[in-house]
A and B are shown apart, each in its own frame.
Chain A
Amino acid sequence: MQIVRSHVLICGGTGCTSSNSPKVIEEFKVQLNLNKIQDEVKIVQTGCHGLCAEGPIVVIYPEGSMYTMVKVEDVKEIVDEHLIKGRIVKRLLAGDKDVQDFTKSLDNVEFFKKQHRIALRNCGVINPENIDEYIAYDGYKALGTVLTTMKPHDVIDTLKISGLRGRGGGGFPTGLKWEFAAKQKANQKYVCCNADEGDPGAFMDRSVLEGDPHSVIEAMAIAGYAIGSNQGFIYVRAEYPIAVKRLNIAIKQAEEYGMLGKNIFGTDFDFNLEIRLGAGAFVCGEETALMTSIEGFRGEPRPRPPFPAVKGLWQKPTILNNVETYANIPVIFLKGADWFAGIGTEKSKGTKVFAVGGKINNTGLVEVPMGTTLREIVYDIGGGIPGGKKFKAAQTGGPSGGCIPVSELDIPIDYDNLIKIGSMMGSGGLIVMDEDNCMVDIAKFFLEFTVDESCGKCPPCRIGTKRMLEILERITGGKGEESDIEKLELLAKNIKAAALCGLGQTAPNPVLSTLKYFRDEYDAHVKDKRCPAGVCKSMMHFIISAERCKTCGICAKNCPVDCIAGEKGVPYVIDQEKCIKCGVCMEKCPFKAIFKNA
């Protein structure tokens, strides 16, 4: 008996016949004969499938693929692709046309449409614990090309042309940094990676290390070649156990493959990489403190100059770049400096990863070209603000950055524009705030963080930020005086001018930027003893509307401190002295009779 491997069912019903199915059948016969598979594939003319509007209909078994609106020209493709190669011709499938608006895969989700993934290109795509998959996505090709075809100064020139700037916050041109270190004459130089991501809310470095550790390793080896170093250190915080584990695996695999070690790609270039674990101090993300910590001392910054490119780790010339900066580098060498320089704005090239959080629907990691507006990030990619609330501000740059108000929503985001409006890029945390956030409270939150994390080496930061926090606590506690705002401004100015390291110098930014754009909120707290957003507890009281109260007593039953009194027929009243402002009564009231009077 003849064995047939496939059946092609072609509808010969009236509907399909009138939309040309006989010609399609003829063409199938021609194509099958042409490919000499007429004995393996059987053509069956069937009756009506009931989907006449989509005819002619062709169904192929054993797969059961249903192709609709098949034209004579499509037949060759179906025979070549499906019957010979076994690949279903997706564009002709019934389902794909029918449920076009149905999003099955994340590739077609709105969230990704405006994104441009360079640093995150492999995150969520490859298996980070498998070097082969990295290589499959062009991994280590940049290193191989650099080592075998380029001189160190060509590498630096390429980076300079690309316009890449440091993604850790400051935005210093990476090519220049490398050039300074390359020019130093020394018997030993070092390449360091800053993976001590400390900004509250930022986690792009962790994601890169967890999702694509080899891209950082490859870029660090390129850096070593460019500046003449054979030793690298990755400084990563111990709170990132998965990142550390995957980095270790990646380094081991790279060593086995000869991407690290001696005579890489058959050249005389050697490069070794070690991991140093940080204990999670925020200050260790500052470059000089980080290097002091790698050396085994307490992580404290030191004055610059000398800059690390001259005297860094163990007094030797050292470059330090951030994880995201490194993740961009292999792509620059694969696709060319001009390609990279073609993305972004005039002075900020490429893309930036933001960790978007706070009052926004789509929290997560986004990578957008420089120059994308905040509005696009918040509304198009971020999906807007939950509950239809109004956008109030976005905080970028963490404790070193500031708040961007609604009036600046349309400013193209790049390094220089952010500084112009009193914030900074920082490592890329982006916290969205709505009308329910109190800006004074936000400033206080970041000051609390800096006070906690101040290393204590220099007085402006150690004492100055503490004094600022005390004033903010006074203001939010309802005891602010009119002179307090001036005092805040004066302290901020002096700390900025006098602190030893970048962290101290930028610590007043959250206060300064909220003062700049939300002065009225400070005034309301100080003069009217009122918190417009209803956040600061000291100025908040809950009131039961006597008119609306149906005297059900549910609020009194739920009050944890029994401060609500009343009885059936008599409206309930809150004892303001005893009230702890937990808000449970307001939440539980079935008649919405309780109001937060800020």
Chain B
Amino acid sequence: MKSLDELEKIRNKTLDNMSLRSKDKTMRIIVGMATCGIAAGAKPVMNSLLEELRRRNITNVSVTMTGCIGVCRLEPIVEVIDPSGLKVTYVKMTAEKAARVVAEHIVNGRICLDLTIGEAEKE
């Protein structure tokens, strides 16, 4: 790194990628993979997401991980962000629920309301 300009270039490029302004990605899936998430079973969830996307031949969805957001009791947490920036937070995920999210939300655009944080908080 030689200058702030160089840093700014990386910043803008990554922001573009993250906000999906590029044409090839339509949705972003983020899985919480800190100790709390992994202990709660984030790895099978991640595998299930990748497997389900692969099986359906969906290549325009990016799947990445992130750290602890603070609500460890609701892990594993999966967030789906659509191109408009709308974020849906799914909580207490399992491999089966993850496959369902791919089928209903990613493929058919129907949010799985019963798996969202709002629903979990109502209990």
Chain A residues with a Cβ under 8 A of chain B: 86-88, 90, 102-107, 109-112, 115, 120, 122-130, 132-133, 135-136, 138, 140-141, 144-145, 148, 203, 206-208, 210-212, 240, 242-243, 257-259, 264-266, 362-367
Contacts and interface: CB of A to CB of B under 8 A. Distances in A.
B15 interface: yes
Contacts of A127: 30, 64-66
B87 A107 contact: yes
Interface string B59-91: 000001111111111000101000110111100
A210 B35 contact: yes
Interface residues of B, number: 43
Contacts of B88: 104-105
Nearest to B39: A242
A106 B10 contact: no
Contacts of B15: 136
Nearest to B109: A64
Given A102-B113, A102-B118, A210 B68 contact: yes
Nearest to B81: A105
A141 B4 contact: yes
Shortest Cβ-Cβ A-B pairs, 4 listed: A211-B67, A124-B69, A103-B118, A136-B14
Given A104-B89, A124-B32, A265 B3 contact: yes
A35 to B, nearest CB: 20
Indicate the member of B2, B11, B87 with the most A CB atoms within 10 Å.
B11
A5 to B, nearest CB: 15
A138 B118 contact: no
A207 B34 contact: yes
Given A90-B84, A136-B18, 19 more contacts: A87-B83, A103-B121, A104-B87, A104-B89, A105-B86, A109-B118, A115-B70, A132-B10, A135-B7, A145-B4, A148-B4, A207-B67, A242-B33, A257-B1, A258-B2, A259-B1, A265-B4, A364-B70, A366-B70
Given A103-B121, A242-B38, A266 B71 contact: no
B118 A128 contact: no
Contacts of A266: 2-3
Nearest to B12: A136
A122 B68 CA distance: 9
Nearest to B69: A124
Contact of B72 (A106, A133, A145, A364): A364
Nearest to B116: A104
B50 interface: no
Nearest to A123: B67
A132 B18 CA distance: 10
Interface string B19-61: 0000000000010111110100000000000000000000000
A128 B65 CA distance: 8
A125 B33 CA distance: 11
B117 interface: yes
Given A132-B13, A211-B68, A364 B73 contact: yes
B117 A103 contact: yes
B66 A265 contact: no
A264 B36 CA distance: 35
B14 to A, nearest CB: 4
B7 A141 contact: yes
A258 B72 CA distance: 34
Contacts of B118: 102-104, 109
B61 to A, nearest CB: 15
A104 B66 contact: no
A362 B84 contact: no
Contacts of B89: 104-107
B35 A265 contact: no
A459 B69 CA distance: 43
A240 B4 CA distance: 33
B30 to A, nearest CB: 8
A103 to B, nearest CB: 3
Indicate the member of B3, B15, B71 with the most A CB atoms within 10 Å.
B71
B69 A135 contact: no
A105 to B, nearest CB: 4
23 contacts: A87-B84, A88-B84, A90-B86, A102-B118, A104-B88, A104-B116, A106-B71, A106-B77, A106-B87, A107-B87, A109-B117, A123-B66, A124-B70, A135-B14, A141-B7, A148-B3, A207-B67, A207-B68, A207-B70, A208-B67, A210-B67, A242-B33, A259-B1
Contacts of B67: 122-124, 126, 128, 207-208, 210-212
Contacts of B7: 135, 140-141, 144
A345 to B, nearest CB: 23
A103 B89 CA distance: 9
Contact of B1 (A87, A240, A258, A364): A258
